[in-house]
Structure formats: C-alpha cells, structure tokens
Structure 1
Amino acid sequence: MSVSRRVLLVSDFFYPNPGGVENHIDQLAQCLVSRGHKAVILTHAYEGHAGWRYLSNDLKVYYAPRLPFYSQVTFPTIFGSFRLLRAILIGERIDLVHAHQSFSVLAHESILHARTMGYKVVFTDHSLFGFADGSSILTNKLLKFTLADVHQVICVSHTSKENTVLRACVPPGRVSVIPNAVDTAKFWPSGQPDPPDKLTIVALSRMVYRKGIDLLNIVIPEMLARHPNLHFVIGGDGAKLPLLKATIQRQQLAARVEFLGAVPHQAAREVLVRGQIFVNASLTEAFCMAIVEAAAAGLLVVSTSVGGVPEVLPAHMIELAEPTPSSIIEALEAAIQKLPQRDPWKQHAEVQAMYSWPQIAQRTERVYDAAAASARDDTFVGRLKRYHKCGRWFGKICCCVAAVDYMYWCWLDWLYPANGIAIAPDTPYATDNLQETSLHHA
C-alpha cells in the first residue's frame, strides 16, 4: 500500500476517555487515512484496552502499558517509554510524529525521543495556561524545553497561539492556527417544533472547577425562579457534581433539573436536541468543541467569553458573557428572547460550512509539509544549541537530558538493532483475530 506520509499521533488522551482532545485526534487520524496517509495512534492503556487495536478505517491504536496517576496523565519516566516508542516508529515506518496536549506526559517524552532519533515533529496545543501558579510555571518550563526542538506548532485559536508563544518562547512564525471541527453528520437538529409550554437549557461538560460549575451552581436556581416553564438537562461527571446536586436538592428543584451523569460522545447529540439553549460556563477555554457541536445541533449557545471562545461562532449563534453569575443570567435571558428567530437547519448548514474535518486535515497536511521541508540544523550539536537557549541554568539541564537520551538511544540501537524489529503491515490481516495483542515484548 503506497501512502504519502506516515504519521504517529501521540497523547495520553484518547478513546475510551471522553473529551475534546480525544475526539480531535480520532477525527484527524481518520481523515488522514481517508486522504491516503498512514496514521497510527499511541496512548496509554485504559481499563479493557491494552496492546494494540484496529478501529474503523484500519486505524491502528497502540495502548502502551503505562498507568495514569492523575486525570489520565501517565507518571513521568523520561526514558521509560523510549524502547517501545522506537519499536513503533521503526515497525510502522513512521516519518513524522504529531504530539498533542501540553499536559500529556507521553506527548512530551515522545517528542524528546523522536527528535533524538531524527524524526520530524509537530505539536498541537489544545489548552490555555496561566503564568503565576506553581503548576503553570512547571508546565510552561517543560513546554519551553519540549518546543525548543519541534519543527512546527499548531494551536486551536489565535488566543491559544498568543498563550503558547508567550509560555514557551516559540517564534510566532513556527506556530499555525488550525481550529477544531465537528462531524456535522453526527450533530443535526431534531426537526421537531419546540414545545410551546416548556423551555429546556442543556449543560454538557465535565463537572470540574475549570468548567465553571460553581457559576452554574448559582445560575441554575436563579433562572428556574425566574421562569416557571424552564428545565435544565445536565450531563457530565466529576468532582463538582455532588455540589450541584446538593444545591438542587436543598432548594427542592429536582423535578426541574435532570442529571444524566457521564454521557458518551456518541450519545451527545441525543442530549443536545432535548433543549433549545446550550450553556457553557468555562473559566478557560482554548477553543471549546462543545459549543460548536451544540450549534450544529441547532441550539442557541450561551458561553463565557474566555480564551478563544469569541473566535468560534458568529454573533447570531452565541450570547457571550463574563464569567460571573449575573452576566451569564443576562446572556441566558437574551438567548431566550432570540429563540423565536432561531432557524436550526440554517444554523446547522452554516456550522457545516465553517468547520469541516476534511478541511482541517488538509490544513494540517500543509503544516506536515512545512515540517518535512525544514532545513534547519538538526544535528545533535544543533539540538543542544537550541536547548541551551532555554535559560541560563535550565538550558544546561535540558542539554544534559538530551545527551543522556542520545546515549540511551545508541545503547538501544546496539542492543536491539533496527533490522531485528518486525515491520508491521499497513492493513490488518484477519482483523477479527487482531483486535488486541500484547506490547510487553516490544
């Protein structure tokens, strides 16, 4: 099978874990395969998912034997994944590595090892980070080290680009802005007229602090008090869910608020079309896939105006609010007034024209081409020069890590020669019997 590019996409976040990054990687990989490329995904093992599997379109996923220790992020080992990654890169005949998400340990380690082996590397950042708290400072330092040696960087919004350039000191010319997209074939309006005596607002997100659940905890009771015909449908799970449930129970509003718990992505459309308005109260967002999916399903969107959110939808589809309860309530009231003018199918067609995965894949290909055509000094000395610029003392530490990684690679090359690694087929033979295979002998 002849393919024009062979790409390994790496992240701690992938199916069966739900989320925007997971969906982005899956959709991008599927589109790359459809466009004639070879795409392989590397993530860590999940419960019930280990070894390697073939998904639809012959998309191969390696579930590496590494356990997550916090929010599906694997414990950093720096060199522990090198042997397995090397076997995958050689066995799959990869020519470019595309890592995703700045707080994915597996992504950072894979960038280091891939660059040590001389591969072209692209990185996509999906989130915004601050500059003041301890965790942000550590993450930004790590990102500065990692991105010092990548060939191209992709951000999902212009706000995200500015954030990444400042955090990692990356030249803006190496950073491209490519938004997420939505598979509009999976998100379409219900086609049924809105019930005249019932108004439903949908909230669908992880129940964590960053998603503004504390704001919704104030907004929901106030909106229910103002509108007797109003109901809320809330999907998602997380640490803040008990807080929200306790408030609803205490104020005796359980009959008008339905909690669905965790909602698989394939069931999201069924939840969305139960309402007329979608609310997103996030405190920080680089892009926010959820509001695009809601708009594609024909809902009016109310969202906090944070991060890259103002770039995502045109004004007639969204009401923006400050991340305060009063501002969100005001935006919800404005959305309710706009409901009679809503045309779900026209809105669906507009979203379809704006956000298409084939278009996103095509734009990503151009970034791959730019990375492949890079003529910079990629010798080991050239890499050390780039790492040394990371800081007076931190730069020297980066150089030491890169040097140890290089020596480890030389040792692996001597102990496990590349010609002894089996070349994997491009398509599965007897797929039914190849659904899962151990990686422990890699």
Structure 2
Amino acid sequence: MNIGIFTDTYFPQISGVATSIQTLKNSLENLGHSVFIFTTTDPKISQEEFEPNIFRFGSLPFVSFTDRRVVYRGLFHATEIAKELNLDIVHTQTEFSMGWIGKYVAKSLKIPVIHTYHTMYEDYLHYVLNGHLLKPVHVKRFARAFLHHTKGVVAPSLRVKTTLQSYGVKQPIEIIPTGIELSSLSESYSGDLRKELGLAEQTPVILTLSRISMEKKISRILEAMPKLVESVKNIVLIVAGDGPDLKTLKNEAESLGVSDSVKFIGAVPHEKVGSYYRMADLFVSASDTEAQGLTYIEAMATGTKCVVFSGEYTDRLFNTPEYGRTFTDHEEMYQEIVDYLQEGPGKINPELLEEKLEEISADTFGEKIEKFYQTVIEEN
C-alpha cells in the first residue's frame, strides 16, 4: 500500500504523537508498505534539507501552543503530490490544519481516510483564554464534525473510544494502542548517567519524563517530595523534559524546600531516553489526561516499575505490582513510592516482561493498523 500520513506534529518536535507516528511509519515500512508523511515546516529543519518521503508545508506557531504548528498553505500542492504518489489511503493524525488537508486529499482522490484521535481536548481547554472561551460541548461538536466522512477511527485506549461514542461518533472505532520500538530503547549509551547527574549508585532515584506543562500534573509529585525526603534517605526526583511550565515548577520546588532533591534536566535526546528509564529506580507520573501514555510503556519496556495515576488504561497495563501500581490520591501515590523504594532496587522479572513486550511492541501495532487499513479499503 501507499499510505499518506497527515499530521501537524512530527520530529524534530518532541511529543507522544510524533513518537507514535514515527513508530507507525517504521512498522508499516517493515511490513513492505510505502509511507509518506505530510506535515508542517519546522524552524529546526532547513528548507533545503532532503527528508525522504516527508513533505513539509508552510506553517506558523499555534497561538496557545507555540511549540506546535499549523499550516497556512499547501492544500492543492498536497493534493498534487498525493496523486503522483498514487496513495491508497490517508491516515490523519490531527484535527487541525493538516488533518483537514488530508480529508480534502482523500475526497479528491476518492480514497478512504481514517483518523487517530490522540488528544482528550476537554483536558486542555484551560489553554484557550483560561477555559472561558471553549467548553466541553464545543469539543464534542468539533470532534464529531471532523470525524464525519472518515471511514474509521483509531482509539489508543478504551477511554478514547468511550469518549468518542459519548460524542455521538458513528464511524467504526478500533482500539489500537501505540506500540514501542524496543530497539530504540535498547540502544547503548556509553556514558554514566548517574555520574553525569552527580548521583551515587545507591541513591534512590524516581523519574518523571514528559512535556513540562500544567496537564502533566508534575506539581503533584513535587508536593509529595517534602514527605518523601523525610521517609526515603537521599531520594532524588529527576524531571526530564521541557515545556511552558518549567520555570513555574522550579519555583515551586524552591518554595517547598526540596530544590536540592529535584533535578530539572531539560529535554532528553532520543538516543538517551532508554538509559534514563534504566537508570531510575522507579518511574512516576501523576498525569490524569493521557489518552494512552507512551512513557509508561517505555519505562516498562526497559524493566523499570511504575507508579502512575489510575485510569482505565493504566489499571489494565499495571495489573500486578510486578509491573507497577496505580493511585487515585496524593497519599496513595506517596505510599506506593515509599513501598517500592524500601523494597530496594528491583527491575521487572524478565520472563514476565517478555510476555508484555510482545503485546506492546511496534510490530504488533503495525500489524493491527495494517489489518484496519485493509478492511477499510475493501469496504470503500
């Protein structure tokens, strides 16, 4: 198949969506398909730089997410390119600019379009005029309008499917969690991260890795640190990532009196991500807005146990303490972190991990998407 993926977010932007799309591209190419990315320009990529099978269209920073971009031209150019490529299917990954261009291209070429619904927008309404402009009813109408005329929807979790059905979406919805490219996590890094970070080998380290923004609820972990410092000798929290709330969180750590026990290290290079997970004794996330949560399964894939916020997806993923635990409130999070760290360093049992890895692998992800494509094309 010749597959066109239309997205506003792609590398070098760092996000779960960008990672998901690259994983999908690689998996489908490994299955013998040709995958073409239609996306936005990026200031980090020169217009003269050649990127095989990637087509970028003029864009500007999005008003409320300046590290995200929207295109301002390219509708007819994208259609011409798609005709030359003889696309069999369009797969949109955004409900904004490139998503609408993808729908137009599919209609012009009379080929099916499916969509992956990545983002639970009701959790992000505070970014637009502090939540005073857009309401949940607007999200419902917007989602239903965008998904109209698509031939199917990929939901990364049951939560996404249930939400879309509550919106009145009638298109077929397949639950297909994003897989993990295990090879990228196993890439060797020759450095000593603990030494680089000034940490002793025996220092208890908890890690959170994400975009540094309000919806990730990193402040909840910071609020637990004064009590954790008292309970676990020499504990250190590593906050990996960058984003709009970095300065706010640094100030909060200082006001809580835990600055010496919290290290903000900024964005982590892709080749070092796996090493950070392995270096940590425990991965922690207090985010309650994740449609799926790639960092959870990345941490698991490296053998690192997790303490994460309870939800439909996480409760199924961490269905035994051998993988990790979920929590519903501040005290439960604190106690689970303490319990794991007091048990001493311990990675996930390799035999149990092998069973999970097949379930969450990029190969399984690609095969499920391929099957969905074939079904949609046959019914078109």
Structure 2 counterparts to residues 29-178 of structure 1, below 5 A: 29-49=25-45, 51=47, 59-70=52-63, 71=65, 72-75=67-70, 80-102=73-95, 104-130=96-122, 134=134, 136-171=136-171, 174-178=172-176
Residue of structure 2 equivalent to 1:28: 24
Structure 2 counterparts to residues 36-435 of structure 1, below 5 A: 36-49=32-45, 51=47, 59-70=52-63, 71=65, 72-75=67-70, 80-102=73-95, 104-130=96-122, 134=134, 136-171=136-171, 174-188=172-186, 197-306=202-311, 308-315=313-320, 316-322=322-328, 324-339=329-344, 342-343=347-348, 345-346=350-351, 348-375=353-380
Amino acid at match of 1:227: V
1:22-41: per-residue Cα shift (whole Å, max 9, x none)? 01111111121121111000
The Cα of 1:294 is off from its aligned counterpart by 0.7
The Cα of 1:158 is off from its aligned counterpart by 1.3
| SS of structure 1 residue aligned to 2:226 | helix
Q: What is the rounded CA distance, in whole Å, between the counterparts of 1:364 and 1:291 in structure 2? A: 21
Classify 1:196/1:37 alpha carbon distance in 2 versus 1 (closer, same or farther; 3 Å): closer
Q: What is the rounded CA distance, in whole Å, between the counterparts of 1:253 and 1:74 in structure 2? A: 35
| SS of structure 2 residue aligned to 1:308 | helix
Q: What is the rounded CA distance, in whole Å, between the counterparts of 2:48 and 2:319 in structure 1? A: 41
- Decide whether the 8 Å contact of 1:201 with 1:279 is kept in 2: yes
Higher RCO structure, 1 or 2 (CA under 8 Å, sep 6+): 1
The Cα of 1:280 is off from its aligned counterpart by 0.8
Q: What is the rounded CA distance, in whole Å, between the counterparts of 1:31 and 1:101 in structure 2? A: 20
Structure with larger Rg = 1
TM-score normalised according to structure 2 size:
0.86
| SS of structure 1 residue aligned to 2:251 | helix
Q: What is the rounded CA distance, in whole Å, between the counterparts of 1:51 and 1:109 in structure 2? A: 21
Amino acid at match of 1:305: S
The Cα of 1:163 is off from its aligned counterpart by 1.2
- Decide whether the 8 Å contact of 1:45 with 1:66 is kept in 2: yes
Q: What is the rounded CA distance, in whole Å, between the counterparts of 1:189 and 1:95 in structure 2? A: 34
Classify 1:30/1:188 alpha carbon distance in 2 versus 1 (closer, same or farther; 3 Å): closer
Amino acid at match of 1:107: G
- Decide whether the 8 Å contact of 1:204 with 1:234 is kept in 2: yes
| SS of structure 1 residue aligned to 2:291 | coil
The Cα of 1:312 is off from its aligned counterpart by 2.9
Moved more, 302-311 or 32-41: 302-311
Q: What is the rounded CA distance, in whole Å, between the counterparts of 1:125 and 1:335 in structure 2? A: 34
The Cα of 1:276 is off from its aligned counterpart by 0.8
Classify 1:274/1:335 alpha carbon distance in 2 versus 1 (closer, same or farther; 3 Å): same
Classify 1:206/1:265 alpha carbon distance in 2 versus 1 (closer, same or farther; 3 Å): same
- Decide whether the 8 Å contact of 1:197 with 1:229 is kept in 2: no
1:103-139: per-residue Cα shift (whole Å, max 9, x none)? x432133214422442210111122243996254333
Q: What is the rounded CA distance, in whole Å, between the counterparts of 1:243 and 1:21 in structure 2? A: 25
| SS of structure 1 residue aligned to 2:59 | coil
Tell me how many residue pairs correspond in the alignment: 361
Q: What is the rounded CA distance, in whole Å, between the counterparts of 2:324 and 2:303 in structure 1? A: 11
Q: What is the rounded CA distance, in whole Å, between the counterparts of 1:61 and 1:229 in structure 2? A: 47
- Decide whether the 8 Å contact of 1:9 with 1:99 is kept in 2: yes
Residue of structure 2 equivalent to 1:430: none
- Decide whether the 8 Å contact of 1:126 with 1:286 is kept in 2: yes
Residue of structure 2 equivalent to 1:379: none
Q: What is the rounded CA distance, in whole Å, between the counterparts of 1:54 and 1:351 in structure 2? A: 38
Q: What is the rounded CA distance, in whole Å, between the counterparts of 1:285 and 1:297 in structure 2? A: 20
Unpaired runs of 5+ residues, structure 2, are 126-130, 193-198
Root-mean-square deviation over aligned CA pairs: 2.8
The Cα of 1:218 is off from its aligned counterpart by 0.6
Q: What is the rounded CA distance, in whole Å, between the counterparts of 1:36 and 1:196 in structure 2? A: 44
Identical aligned pairs, as a percentage?
19
- Decide whether the 8 Å contact of 1:286 with 1:307 is kept in 2: no
Unpaired runs of 5+ residues, structure 1, are 376-442
Q: What is the rounded CA distance, in whole Å, between the counterparts of 1:53 and 1:311 in structure 2? A: 43
- Decide whether the 8 Å contact of 1:8 with 1:41 is kept in 2: yes
- Decide whether the 8 Å contact of 1:319 with 1:335 is kept in 2: no
| SS of structure 2 residue aligned to 1:273 | helix
- Decide whether the 8 Å contact of 1:285 with 1:308 is kept in 2: no
1:41-94: per-residue Cα shift (whole Å, max 9, x none)? 011000132558665xxx5111111223232544576xx432122112112211
- Decide whether the 8 Å contact of 1:159 with 1:308 is kept in 2: yes
The Cα of 1:367 is off from its aligned counterpart by 0.8
